[in-house]
Amino acid sequence: MKQSLRLVLILAGLALGTSSHAQVKVGDLFPEVKGRTDAPAPSIDGAVAIVDFWASWCAPCKASFPAYARLNAAYASKGLSILAVSVDEDPADFDRFVARFSPPFSVFLDRGHDLVRQVSVPTMPTCYVIDRNRRVRFIHAGYHGSETDLSLRKEVELLISEKPLPANP
């Protein structure tokens, strides 16, 4: 009897253990990016940041890059940091995409999908607008042209105008 019960508990544990990570939502602390990508990524602590998940095979991601370049030009000097994290499986695809668009912001390859798995993005592309306390304040699932551009500008301006809250003890 005890053995059977143990077996059931193990199976239940396995079933729960194989479920994926919970999606990062508004208000959650964004996972640390530093040390999670192929190239050294800057820390986003203390900065207003946009972390964008993209792939070379995703058409809206191509459309979003020029918009991020414009955003970077307008707000980088005011403290905005843009990190574009690729989920490409083939590094050659990543290299070709970066060579074609020459983004003026940081781009990284999430080799092994470690970060994207933890964040559990709902669609491609998805960008997370993060405040100075590394809290996710806004999430944009998909890229919808000027609508997304305008929202991002408003959100970035709001977060830049905010003073950082003291860190939680």
1 binds other proteins (CB under 8 A): yes
Q: Provide φ and ψ at 137, rounded to 5°.
A: -105, -35
31 binds other proteins (CB under 8 A): no
Residue pair 84/54 in contact by the 8 Å Cβ criterion: yes
- Strands 80-86 and 106-109 turn out to be parallel
Give the residue, chosen from 43, 57, 139, 151, that forms a contact with other proteins under the rule CB under 8 A.
57
Which among 105, 109, 110, 107 is positioned nearest to 120, based on CA atoms? 110
DSSP 43: P
76 binds other proteins (CB under 8 A): no
Output 17 or 27, the one with its CB closest to other proteins.
17
58 binds other proteins (CB under 8 A): yes
| Nearest distance in Å: CB 10, other proteins | 10
**What's the rounded Cα separation, in Å, for the pair 31 and 70?**
26
Say how many residues make up the chain.
169
Residues that bind other proteins (CB under 8 A): 1, 4-5, 7-8, 11-12, 15, 18-20, 53, 55, 57-61, 87-89, 113, 116-117, 120-126, 141-142
